[in-house]
Structure 1
C-alpha cells in the first residue's frame, strides 16, 4: 500500500511539472508570435525598401515600399535575381 501511495505521489508531481512546463511553453509561443507580428510589421511598413535575399542573391521577400518604388507586384519580385533590378555601373 505504501508503494502505491508513493507511485501516486510521483505521478502527481510529474503531472504538476508537466503542467508548469506546458504553461511556460505556451507563454514562450505567445511571446514569439507577438515578436513575429511586430517585426513583420516593421519590415512591411518601413519607409525604406527592403529585400531579403538568399545566398545566391535571389529575392526571397520584398516589403511594400519596394513594390511601390518598382511598381511591381511582390509575386514578380520573389525568386528573381536582385541584379535584374539594379542599374549597371558605368
Structure 2
C-alpha cells in the first residue's frame, strides 16, 4: 500500500497501520499494547491517531539511522582491532 501521510484518516486501525507497514496486524497490536506505538482502545479495537503514527514513524527512521551509524562505527573499530568497549560503543585506539 503506497500512502501519503496527509491522505491518511485522522484515526487509523491496526489493520490500516499493518497494511502501510507491510506487517502482520498482530505485530502492530503488540507494538500498541507495549506502548511503543501510542494507541487507545475503542470498544474491542485499538486505534492510532494519525499524528501519533507519523511521530512513531519518524522515531523509527531516526533509530534506523542511528543503527546504521553505529554499525559503521563497529565495523571501523573491528578493522582497527580494538578490544575495548564503553557504553555499547567500540573505541578505536589512537
Q: TM-score range by the shorter chain?
A: 0.3 to 0.5
Higher relative contact order (CA 8 A, sep 6+): 2
Normalised to the residue count of structure 1, the TM-score between the two structures is 0.37
Question: Which is strand-richer, 1 or 2?
Answer: 2
The structure having more radius of gyration, on CA atoms, is 1
Normalised to the residue count of structure 2, the TM-score between the two structures is 0.36
